Structure 1
Amino acid sequence: MGVAALFVLNGARQTHALMIKVRAINPMQGKTVTISTGQLHYVERGTGPSILLIHGLGGQQGNFDLGMIDALAKDYRVVAMDRPGMGYSERPEDMAANLRAQADYAVEVIDVLGLGKPLVVGHSLGGGTALALALDHPQKTRGLALLAPVTRAVDSAPEAFKALGIKNRALRWLVSETLAAPASVKNSAKTMDLIFGPDAVPEEYTRNGGLLGLRPVCFRNTCRDFQHVQDDLPEMEARYDEIKVPVALLFGTADRVLDHTEHGVHLCAMHPHFSLDLIEGAGHMLPTVYPEACADFVRKIDALTTVPTGANQSTDR
């Protein structure tokens, strides 16, 4: 027991030291507002029709900030948020983490920031959130541009995600405060190869929020997001034909996280009103590795939508 206690204590010390470095390298970049989950952090640039960017599992708004936000901000009012519980946004442990709840939180952001009916852009889990938003709140979006989205329930997850399966709250807290961050650093090459591969990890990734996933609170919320991501998908799949706004998907054909055939090709075959574009040989982290291609894709989809007359286009509040 003494050896175990020393092991845990050493992990806690390593985690504390890592968090000092993480906060120094990845400080809060934007503004905050208050929604039901607490403080929500977001960045906003540009003027014009509104676009809301929702990141994926374990990510934060910086996933879009390696060129994609700036490219779109030339013509749009772009808001990229840290999903509740991720980055610098808060979410208490007792608040729901399933996709429909995540969509409800996104609608709160739309309302408090006066975005009207934004084009919603979702990456990975953020894509599933965008689909839930269009189903449950159809009046809150003019269209969906989905980047490597989770769209269907699957039987298994990549092996590297199995560490996120800690269901006991106390154990999840203990692991997050002691072992998770040091272990993530130790295994980072393998994890990044899965998430980004076959693409290389951009050098700027760690300086643009990439380290925030190491924060204990982010690990705990990533565990919960991972465990609940499939709760709503079977019901959502049965309702996709209810979505009347334009829906388009962009996938890399070498995605190692979400199979582009299962989540893209097969889905669009069943729902012909969904469209699919592919980037040959690309991996999962499209907005980070291919920001210009993603921005062009968003522009193409936005051209199919109708911007409501009188929509708020100002960045001033």
Structure 2
Amino acid sequence: MILWLAAIAAAIALSGYVLASHSRAYVRRTVARFAPTGRFIDADGVRLHVREAGPQGAPRMLLIHGASSNLLELWGPLADEFSPLHHVIAYDRPGMGHSERARRDAHTMASQAKAAARVLEQTGDGPAIIVAHSLGAGVALRLALDHPRLVSGLVLVAPACNPYPWKPAWWARLSTKPIIGELFCNLIIPWLGPPMIPQSVANNFWPAPVPVNYLEQAGVPLIFCPRAFRASAFDVVASNVEFGAQQPRYGELFTPAVILTAEKDKIVSPKRHARALAVDMPAAELVIAPETGHMPHRLRTDLVIAAIRRVNEMTSTRTTD
């Protein structure tokens, strides 16, 4: 009996060692493959990875990515288009990509919005148009509510912003548990996650096919680094309560805004989020991007570009009135 227990303990220890070694190797390879492309700023003691393009002093645009993502998600389709005449700024949200994460309250929308505010404060002067995707739209809305002087307009793409009646995915809930969540993220996710990339990405793009080279262009494998995966899980698990706290305030926002969504989306319900938000926000316009699922910015970049230009027009009219 003792020999059996010793053998089982040895097998568990060996499995843990192998998984930990694989995890460290995965992080090294992935971080080298998708190395930082910008600079680092200090945001209340937290180091954030920020990328910029375009002339200083030009009208500013801040790109805010969603869950399970990094700054490359919006940078790829939008930066080249707008950087000749805009100062385009993107950052890895706290804990994701190459950014650090605060030890306390980093999952709250207030903390996330404060981090975005610090990025804007350290990358130029004056308000910016905020272009945000998915959960990043919730952050953008909180930024407009808490730091209105920094926001001139909003373009919200497939937004996640309102409370919902179901629980987050099992992997997100498990990842946030003490001890077992850390073990799951550090030992299992770098091994289990990458083979699941094709199906999870396909769900985002449904009903359209995934564009060629998307995984590389968007740095998708970065999310399976344990620190990033757990940070995103905390944001997702907290989102229902956080959205519920700020949704009653959306009617206060007279910020010029365009909300872009598909008719159907496997990740975020357009009816519950985008369409409801368009009703709540007095100055918002709603645009439907057919057959784009959760990824209008990748599948119909032209509509996102048009939405940004529309918000530019709306802000200009507002300034001259």
Question: What TM-score results when the alignment is normalised by the length of structure 2?
Answer: 0.89
1:144 alignment partner, SS class: strand
Q: Name the counterpart of 1:241.
A: 251
**What is the 5 A alignment of 1:226-305?**
226-305=236-315
Cα 1:295–1:38 shift into 2, 3 Å: same
Post-superposition CA distance 1:38-80 (Å, at most 9, x none): 2111111113200011000011110013231111113211001
Distance 2:224 2:274 in 1: 30
**What is the 5 A alignment of 1:105-254?**
105-156=115-166, 161-166=169-174, 167-208=176-217, 209-254=219-264
Q: Name the counterpart of 1:4.
A: 12
Cα 1:20–1:155 shift into 2, 3 Å: same
Distance 1:299 1:170 in 2: 47
Distance 2:86 2:197 in 1: 35
Partners of 2:258 and 2:311 within 8 A in 1: yes
**What is the 5 A alignment of 1:92-111?**
92-111=102-121
For structure 1, which segment, 246-255 or 80-89, has the greater mean C-alpha deviation from structure 2 after superposition?
Answer: 246-255
Partners of 1:56 and 1:124 within 8 A in 2: yes
Distance 1:219 1:68 in 2: 25
Cα 1:114–1:169 shift into 2, 3 Å: farther
Cα 1:267–1:92 shift into 2, 3 Å: closer
Distance 2:197 2:140 in 1: 29
Q: Name the counterpart of 1:314.
A: none
Post-superposition CA distance 1:171-194 (Å, at most 9, x none): 222222210121111222221122
Partners of 1:253 and 1:260 within 8 A in 2: yes
For structure 1, which segment, 52-61 or 2-11, has the greater mean C-alpha deviation from structure 2 after superposition?
Answer: 2-11
| Residue identity (%) | 27
Shift of 1:142: 0.7
Q: Name the counterpart of 1:27.
A: 35
Cα 1:69–1:307 shift into 2, 3 Å: farther
Give the aligned residue type for 1:229.
S
Distance 1:144 1:226 in 2: 22
Post-superposition CA distance 1:242-285 (Å, at most 9, x none): 11211221012231111112212233234453221011111112
Higher radius of gyration, 1 or 2: 2
2:136 alignment partner, SS class: helix
Partners of 2:68 and 2:232 within 8 A in 1: yes
Tell me which protein shows more helix as a share of its residues: 2
Distance 1:169 1:122 in 2: 31
Shift of 1:290: 3.2
Partners of 2:289 and 2:300 within 8 A in 1: no
2:51 alignment partner, SS class: strand
Distance 2:246 2:290 in 1: 28
| RMSD between superposed Cα atoms in Å | 2.1
Distance 1:12 1:201 in 2: 32
Cα 1:104–1:226 shift into 2, 3 Å: same
Post-superposition CA distance 1:111-145 (Å, at most 9, x none): 12124200111111110001111111122211111
Q: Count residues in correspondence.
A: 307
Shift of 1:308: 11
Cα 1:70–1:256 shift into 2, 3 Å: same
Structure 2 unaligned regions, length at least 5: 1-8
1:165 alignment partner, SS class: helix
Cα 1:191–1:157 shift into 2, 3 Å: farther
Partners of 1:196 and 1:283 within 8 A in 2: yes
